[in-house]
Structure formats: structure tokens, C-alpha cells
Structure 1
Amino acid sequence: MKVRKYIGANTQEAMSKLKKELGSEAVILNTRTIRQKGILGFFKKPLVEVIAAIDEKENKSRQNENEIFLNEVNSEIKKLRTLVERVAINENFDEKEIDENLIRYRDELIKNGVDYNIATTILYKIGEQVNFNEKSEEEIKKIVSYNIMEYLGKPEPIDIIDIPKVIFFIGPTGVGKTTTLAKIAAQLVIDGNHNIGLITADTYRIAAVEQLRTYSEILKLPLKIIYKPEEIYKAMAELKDNDIILVDTAGRSHKDIVQKNETQELINSVKNKEVFLVLSMATDYFTLKSIINQYGYIENYKIIFTKLDEAETYGNILNVKFQTNNSLSYFAMGQNVPDDIKIANIEEVAYKLIGEN
């Protein structure tokens, strides 16, 4: 956000200066009459002061605009293909098509928050591959849990081999991105094998900046604050001695178009990177689907789930994994730094989903 002050002999003159520099898109924040400076100011005609602001964006070339457009188109095509595949799999399922030995597992998955179509799809495919008539109950349970683990996939934490790199944490407001970043930063510091730097682009919330500043002081890590995407180059140059840089992005509504563009520009500005989409287990599946769709313009992100301690069920972990086919990475629970985070335990999730604790 670019804020400027303009002073003129009258409102028309001040506004003329404003429009000349900021254009017609500027937002007027305040207008007031002020005295001229000095003792003689009391005897002179008052001036008009106008304070205005405008979103400051880097002017992009036509080529970059086309690249962003093509990326969005390709992303939409990918989402449509995934949707078509899901619909094709989910069509015309009923109880008769699911092996009778698996009906209770279907019901258990649904009870634990798994979407009906997803539960049906998974169990239908298991039934196609295995003859359960000669299997014991224990064998069936192992087969079902194993297949759920296959769907959940092998978790992928931060790759600390391919460095230096930049790690972006994205996601809607209120999911715990800043705390999650701090937990991972603390674990990397404890590991002691890397130089860690921090960047925050979440300047829309003063509390987020101060929170990360506090963590950086405790962990003795350098912190850079950026107000617009292009400033990341300067921040990275100042952190050139750090081989892993963690970036906290703005946590606003996932429907905020301005935030989407800024986040996309920020991520596209870095070559060697990893992106982690942070989601809360306290969010319902309908909203999660909306969030995932809104972040569909970002390729190859990994998924972090927070607030597992607040979750009644674990179904949304499987739902999101099935919908996105993106790798799970970490599970976070509680506010303790660095303890309340771990690499995703898919075996634990699989057994909880079928009612086994």
C-alpha cells in the first residue's frame, strides 16, 4: 500500500497533484484544512491537505502477463481433468457394487468425516482387486487400512537436501501459518545443520509481524519484512548467507483476488522453492474444497494440517488428499513451539478412519 500526502491552495489543486502521481484509482483516506507553517501562517489563507493511498504493483511486461494467464489456464485444465476423473469413478455407485465385507468400513469412514463419494470410490476399487470371501476379519481390516494409507501417500516434509531454497507458507487467515512456520524454524535450528532466515509478507496484520519478530528474537534468526512482492529480491539478497528461508505470506480471505495476485507474484519470483498450503482441521469440508479451488493456481504445493487437537474426526485429511493428490507433510496441534508439530502419520490416520484407535 502506497500512502501519499498532497497539499494545495485548495481542494482542486491538491486533487490535481494526487491524480497526476497516483492516478484515478487512488483511495482518499483523509482531507483537512491546515495552517501554513511559521508565525506568518496565522495571517495567510489555510491550505488543503489530502491523504490518499493506492495498491502498489510492479508493472509487468505483456510477456509476464501472458505467462500468468497461461499458468492459470493450465491450472484450470488440470482441475477439470481431475474433476472428470472423480466424476467418472463416482458415477452409479450403490451398496450392491461394494463388496458386502466392506460395507461396515464404508459406514465407518463416513462416520469419521470422509465424503460419501470418496469412501465409496476407495472401497469399490479395493473390492475390485481382492476376493474377500476367503479372508478373515483381521485380514480384511489390514487390507482396508493398507489401501487407505496408499491413498494418503508417503508424507513429504521440507527437502533439506536440495538447498539453498525458499519455503513459502500459504493459506487463509486463522489457520496458524505463523505459528506453524515458527515450529518448523525452531526444529531446523535445533537440528543445527542449516542457517535459517525468515521473511514475512503478512504486513496486513500487525500482530502477525510482531509474533514472527518475537520468534525470530527467541531463535536468534534474521527477519526481513516486505510490503510488496518485488521486495523479496532485496530481502533474499540480505539473507544470502542463509540456505533455508521461510516466508510467511499474507493470511487473508482465500477469496481475496488482490491477495491471490500478490501471493502468485511472490511465489513466481523464486526458482528453487517449496510451497506449503496450511489448512485447519477445524474447517468444514465444504469450505476446504473452496479454499483448495482458490489456491489451484499454485502447482505442486504440499499440505500441512493444523489444529488436530481440535478435530472431532480425521476424515478431511483423506478428503483433501483425494481431491488434490498433493502430498501431506506435517500435522500440527497446540501452540507449543517447537513441540506441537510432527511429520504426518498416515498409519495413525488410516486406523482412526476405520474406527481403530
Structure 2
Amino acid sequence: MGDRGSAGERGAHGGDGGGAALIDAALGFVFPAALRAAALARVADHLADGPRAPAELAAATDTDPAALTRVLRLLATRGLFGEDEQGRFRLEAAGQALRSDVPGSVRDGVLMITDRTFWLPAGRMDHCLSTGGSVFEEIFTRPFFDHFAQDAKTAAVFHDGMAAMSGVENGPIAGSYDFPKTGTVVDVGGGQGGFLAAILRAGPGLSGVLYDRAHVVAGHRLADDAALAGRWSTAEGDFFTDVPKGDVVVLKRILHDWQDEQCVRLLRACRRALAPGGRILVVDAVIAPDNRPHQAKDLDLLMMASLVGRERTHEDFRAVLAEAGLRLTRVVPTPTVLSIVEAQAVDDA
């Protein structure tokens, strides 16, 4: 493809305006492709005990030595792996979370984000610009969540990936909000229960209900924590029509999946479930009204391409909550990319 080195050098000195930088940006998709390949091959797991030569590492991962070297060479430019003078590759500190056997592993999250259910629609974003809607159904013949309901393997990738992403953020988010000392927390669309578990660990006087579709709840992990015994239950159903009763109703990474009209239906169901004086906590990314980089803006385009929802601004949340008979009371920042949008029923204001 020509001399990229000289193009980059010209761009660094301003000789061709921003052309070289734009070419580098256009090539940016190659990095997540390489990251996915390494994650699938579990390369990080096989480097946990120290550096290995490409041939040895390839034998352990059932990959081609030359191809593996080329992939790791690129990933090394981002500090995930390193190469010594003998040509052996090592796992760097920045790549540790790619291992599957460490606390805070995001391997499953990487595999979810780079799965074809997000990757292919993202490559058709021009369709979204032309139509204003998702291209997912055109590619996969059915809407996003219907596709998962029919494809257990893909559904597992999604739910395991969400659990991995949530695993590193649940504790900090739960610790950012002053939950009541007692009462019931209902985690709506709570997946495998990681966030509910973090809330219950932080509030020993609380009980919780994990609420989701039957096939999702079946994979919950609440029973794995003996400290939570007797303080949780599960419930199955359609959150657009009915939600279990509670003092705090939590929606983490849920509203961004849906259009405003659907969010209003969901929020109204949550409002009906609230005990007097209760709160609804929407835990989502909040887009800042400026041009600073923020993961919310990347996630917003994934939502546009694969689902029907979007990330929202402070005012977007205020409007959709008001339509559901709720008042936005405050937005609580957290150490993660997500914020806690707190709301209460207008009748309780």
C-alpha cells in the first residue's frame, strides 16, 4: 500500500495538512481486528508465565507462527505485548486484562464488542445516514434482541461480554450512590446480576430482585456469593409491561438500547413499581455538550448501527423522564464512563 512511514512523517510535519492522520484513522479498524484475533486465540493466557518464542506460542495457541508474529507486532505498538531481542513475545501490564483467568478480565467484553453483531452493522453506517435507522435487521433478518433469542451461541457472547464489561465498573458505580440503608432494589434487565450483587455487598441491609427475560435470568451468578444468601430473588417477565415492586428501581445500560417511545413505556412500568418516595436510577453514559472525546459518543454510533436506541444528553434524559411522569432530580458522576441519572415520580416531588 505504499510507504506509510513517509506519509506519517509528512503528516507529523504538516506537509500534507491532515491527510496522513486521516489515513491512519481509516486504518484504525485493523487494531480491534487484531485484538479480537489475539483474544480468540487466548494468547494472553499463554503468556501469563513469561515470554515465549513465536513458534512455541503458535503451537500452544494452534495458530500460524508468522501470522501470529504479525498480529502481536501490531498489538505491541499499543503496549499490550512486548518483543525482546530474541524475538520472544511477552504480556505487558496493559494487556493483563486480556487474560481470561484474572479478576477484572475484559476478554469477553472485547469479544462482544468485536463480534459480527456489532462489527458488520458498523461497517454499514452509511445506511444509517441514509435511512436514519439501524441496519442490523437487513443483515441478520431480525431485530437485535430477537436475533439473540434465536441464537444461543451469540446470546452467550453478548451476556458474557456485558458481564465482563460490568465487572470492572459495578463496584465503583454502586459506591458512588447513597443507597437507602434498608429496602428492596429491583435491577431491571439486570443480566447475570453483577450490578445487583455489588449494590447488595455495599448495603448489607438491602434485599434485591434480579429481573430479566427467562433465558437471561437462568444464567445469573448471584448464588456464587455466599455473603448474599437469603437477600436476593429472581423474577422473569417483560419490562415494558410490568416490573416487580421496589424502593429503588435500577436500569443499568438499558435505556440506551431503545427509542424514546419505548423508554417511556419502560419508565412508566418502573414508576408503577415504585414504593412511595422511591427512586429510579438510570445508569447510562451521559453525552457532554462539547466536543471532548468520550466513550458515550462511540457507544452512540454502535447503538445507531445495531440497535434502535442512542446515548443521551442531560436534557434528553430530562425529557424522556418527564414524558413518563418522572422528575430528574440529579445526575451523579461515577469513576466510570457511566453516570447515575436519579429520578422520582412527579407525585412525590
State if a TM-score over 0.5 links the two structures. no
Flag the structure with more relative contact order, 1 or 2, with Cα contacts below 8 A and sequence separation at least 6. 1
TM-score by length of 1: 0.30
Which of the two has higher C-alpha Rg?
Answer: 1
